[in-house]
Structure 1
Amino acid sequence: MISAQAWADAQRLWDFQRMGHEPRPCSVGIGLGSHDLGVAETTADLYHRGMMPLVVFTGATSRTTRDRMPRGEAEHYRERAVELGVPATAILVEPRARNTGENITLSRALLEEHGTDTSSVLLVSKPYEERRAYATARKLWPGVEFVSASASMTLPAYVDWIQDARLVVDMLVGSLQRLLIYPAQGFMVTQDVPDGVIRAYERLVASGFTSRLAPRTSARS
């Protein structure tokens, strides 16, 4: 059972992670791999709205996705996007990335290999990963303009979609922690995190929402 205070704190983290960018046409869209097939659906919708002519889906598997996406996150994303009418010829698949940094660097390498002129990127992620994806991309791919996008959903609606409230809150906590510790490790640019958001994060950690925390001395995950 998640307490009312924990839900309020989770909402605070959720609101902060949303960048509030207005989607606009970009050179390419990159759908960041995860357990959430909704990322592929959001990417397909943006493609049909004319926001990008080319899509990269990036992601291998993780402990969360190895059972539900055995062919790899990027491949399952590709299949879902094709089902939704995105032409297979408009999709590139990057199947090796195992973290957000690799999502960016390996997608960049793939686009360069294909000779794609990339001046702007529409980053499509889970709603609570928008800021992390943006901060990572800004660090690892300078000179490119990034726009963050995700499904337009409330936190309660997203929990209903995922059907695992504990997982969602744990992921929110993990994402916020990385915003705090990864800039010093060179993995992303620094983001100004308000004191109220930090206090909400600390209360959630103290309440045991810790399964997705990264060891502070470990490599990126």
Structure 2
Amino acid sequence: MISTQDCDDTQRLWDYHQMGHTPRPCSVAIGLGSHDLGVADAAADLYKRGMTPLLVFTGATSPTTRERMPRGEAVHYRERAIELGVPDSAVMVEPRARNTGENIRFARDLLAEAGIEVSSVLLISKPYEERRAYATARKLWSEVEIVSASSPMTLHDYIDSIGDARLVIDMLVGALQRLLVYPEQGFMISQQVPVDVLNAYDRLAQGGYTSRLLRDDKGEVVEPTT
């Protein structure tokens, strides 16, 4: 049973993970690979709304997507977007990336090799990964403007789509930990985390929502050093 406090703390993390950007026309939209086909749905919607002339889907497979997306995340995203009415000519695929940093770097390199000039990017991710994706892109591709986007849904809607509330909380806690420790490892820019969000994260981690936390070689939870 998930307590009222846990629900409140989860909502705090959910709200913080979303950047609150308003979509606007950009040079390209990049959909980051994952288990969630909602990324492709959001990309197709943005394309049809005239927000971008080109979609790039990036992602290989992972242990959580290998069975569901055997041809690779980016390929399945492409197929989904075409099913939703996006023309094949408006979709590019980057099939090698296995983490967020590679998503950004490999998509950037693919566009450069194709001679496509990019000044702004609609960066499409899972709803709770907006801030992590934004921080990574700002570190690795600082010369372009980043506009974050995801499927518009509430926390409750997202839990219903996954079907496992505890897993969703674990994922939100893990994503927050990465925002704290990855900047000092050089993977993303540092961002200010409000005290109430930090307190919510601490309570949830202490409450056992830890399956997605990074751990060191000794099995200890990785903590920021500053």
On whether the aligned pair clears a TM of 0.5, the verdict is: yes
Cα distance in 1, alignment partners of residues 183 and 146 from structure 2: 18
- Counterpart AA for 2:93: V
SS of 2:98 mapped into structure 1:
coil
Amino acid at match of 1:193: V
Count of residue correspondences: 218
Corresponding residue for residue 165 of structure 1? 165
1:57-206 paired onto structure 2 within 5 Å? 57-206=57-206
Following the alignment from structure 1 to structure 2, what is the Cα–Cα distance between the partners of residues 116 and 169? Answer: 39
Do 1:36 and 1:162's aligned partners in 2 also have CA atoms closer than 8 Å?
no
Deviation digits for residues 87-136 of structure 1 (CA, Å, limit 9, x no counterpart): 11111111111111111001001111111101100000111111111000
Unpaired runs of 5+ in structure 2? none
Alpha-carbon contact 1:181-1:216 (below 8 Å) kept: no
1:86 Cα offset (Å): 0.5
1:214 lines up with 2:214 in the alignment: yes
3-state DSSP of counterpart to 2:67: coil
Post-superposition CA distance 1:153-173 (Å, at most 9, x none): 110011111222222111111
Q: 1:213 to 1:90 in 2, by over 3 A?
A: same
Paired AA for residue 93 in structure 1: V
Larger radius of gyration: 2
Amino acid aligned to 2:200: A
Residue 211 (structure 1) shift: 1.4
Shift of 1:4: 1.9
Identity over aligned pairs, percent: 70
Q: What SS does the corresponding residue of 1:30 show, helix, strand or coil?
A: strand
TM-score between both structures, scaled by the size of structure 2? 0.93
TM-score, normalization: structure 1? 0.95
Partner amino acid, structure 2, of 1:64: T
CA drift of 1:204 comes to 1.1
How far apart are residue 216 of structure 1 and its match?
5.5
- Structure 1 unmatched runs, 5+: none
1:25 corresponds to 2:28? no
Task: Say which SS state the counterpart of residue 92 (structure 1) adopts.
Answer: strand
CA distance in 2, matches of 1:70, 1:169: 27
